[in-house]
């Protein structure tokens, strides 16, 4: 069984595909999402109750109600109820998912990013590209406003942004300014306050000779920082702007800001930045 948590929740089991509206209602879906977020660890019934009824408007018999929701989930997700009980496990005072029965997109994303940290250049690009494709959407999009998902959503937004920034940098030192720009803009779409993303947008446009785009990106960043945060450029951004205005060679600017990445690229036989 494959379960996708990035974007709308989706459960795929052979030819059967279930969306967030196919799981027996909002509360049973929330129970499944809470169990998924626990990644195989038990979730106590009082923790589930706090998430499902945050204003303490709990039903008279919480345990019986949760048992009903779990029963609804099992019947919605599985034809084979013996298998359903193996996957959605009832324990004393708690529930958990048997993740050895589930292929979870979050697990695949984490594994790809971890492998990329020590992978050779070409494999790293492939691993990170697969990771950002997997993470194309907010975590549990249908639970967008529920408090209990916010912390995990922020964690995976940060990880997805980091993967896009790493890809942008790798493509920049490969001499692929357009691909660098695309990933930097995607990072910026997910984190509008990332100065690192803005620096890569500015630098990739500079490498591509798009001087008007460089000025527009600088203006966008200045406006966001001043209007929303009441601050100016951080020291790294100031240094980049000064280097560009001083008309230093493009390769010198890239090597000045990302020497470790360039060293890695050169060792692997990457193209130089013109």
pLDDT tens for residues 3-59? 999 999 999 998 899 999 999 999 999 999 999 999 999 999 999 999 999 877 788
Give the C-alpha separation, 177 to 207, whole Å: 6
> Are residue 147 and residue 86 in the same domain, yes or no?
no
> Are residue 84 and residue 113 in the same domain, yes or no?
no
Q: Looking at the predicted structure, is the pLDDT value of residue 143 above 70?
A: yes
**Mean pLDDT throughout 156-164?**
97
> Are residue 146 and residue 62 in the same domain, yes or no?
no
Tell me, yes or no, whether 114 lies in a domain.
yes
> Are residue 164 and residue 222 in the same domain, yes or no?
yes
> Are residue 93 and residue 174 in the same domain, yes or no?
no
Domain extent, residue 45, equals 2-101
> Are residue 159 and residue 182 in the same domain, yes or no?
yes
Domain boundary residue, one of 101, 117, 146: 101
CA distance to 121, 166, 210, 227, per residue, from 124 (Å) = 5, 10, 28, 37
Tell me, yes or no, whether 272 lies in a domain.
no
CA neighbor of 238 nearest in space, from 199, 211, 210: 199
CA neighbor of 88 nearest in space, from 153, 140, 38, 137: 38
> Are residue 245 and residue 192 in the same domain, yes or no?
yes
Give the C-alpha separation, 232 to 261, whole Å: 27
β pairing state of 10-13 and 2-4: antiparallel
Mean of the per-residue pLDDT values of the chain: 90
The pLDDT-based confidence of 205 (bands split at 50, 70, 90) is very high
> Are residue 132 and residue 168 in the same domain, yes or no?
yes
Number of domains in the chain: 2
Q: What is the pTM assigned to this prediction? A: 0.88
> Are residue 49 and residue 91 in the same domain, yes or no?
yes
Q: What pLDDT digit, counting tens, does each position of 103-121 carry?
A: 999 999 999 999 999 998 8
């Amino acid at each position: 069984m494959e379960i996708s948590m990035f974007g709308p929740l989706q459960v795929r089991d052979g030819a059967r595909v279930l969306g967030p509206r196919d799981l027996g209602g909002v509360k049973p879906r929330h129970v499944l999402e809470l169990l998924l977020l626990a990644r195989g660890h038990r979730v106590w019934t009082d923790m589930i109750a706090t998430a499902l009824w945050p204003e303490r408007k709990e039903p008279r018999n919480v345990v019986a109600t949760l048992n009903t929701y779990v029963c609804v989930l099992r019947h919605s997700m599985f034809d084979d109820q013996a298998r359903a009980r193996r996957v959605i496990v009832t324990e004393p005072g708690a529930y958990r998912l048997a993740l050895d029965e589930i292929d979870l997109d979050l697990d695949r994303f984490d594994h790809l990013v971890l492998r990329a940290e020590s992978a050779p250049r070409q494999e790293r690009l492939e691993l990170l590209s697969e990771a950002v494709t997997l993470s194309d959407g907010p975590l549990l999009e249908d639970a967008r406003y529920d408090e209990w998902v916010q912390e995990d959503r922020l964690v995976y937004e940060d990880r997805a942004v980091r993967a896009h920034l790493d890809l942008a940098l790798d493509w920049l030192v490969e001499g692929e300014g357009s691909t660098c720009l695309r990933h930097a803009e995607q990072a910026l779409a997910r984190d509008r306050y990332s100065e690192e993303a803005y620096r890569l947008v500015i630098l990739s446009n500079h490498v591509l000779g798009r001087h008007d785009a460089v000025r527009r990106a600088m203006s966008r960043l200045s406006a966001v920082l001043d209007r929303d945060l009441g601050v100016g450029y951080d020291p790294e951004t100031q240094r980049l702007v000064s280097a560009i205005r001083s008309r230093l060679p493009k390769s010198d600017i890239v090597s000045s800001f990302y020497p470790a990445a360039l060293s890695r690229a050169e060792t692997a036989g990457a193209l130089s930045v013109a």
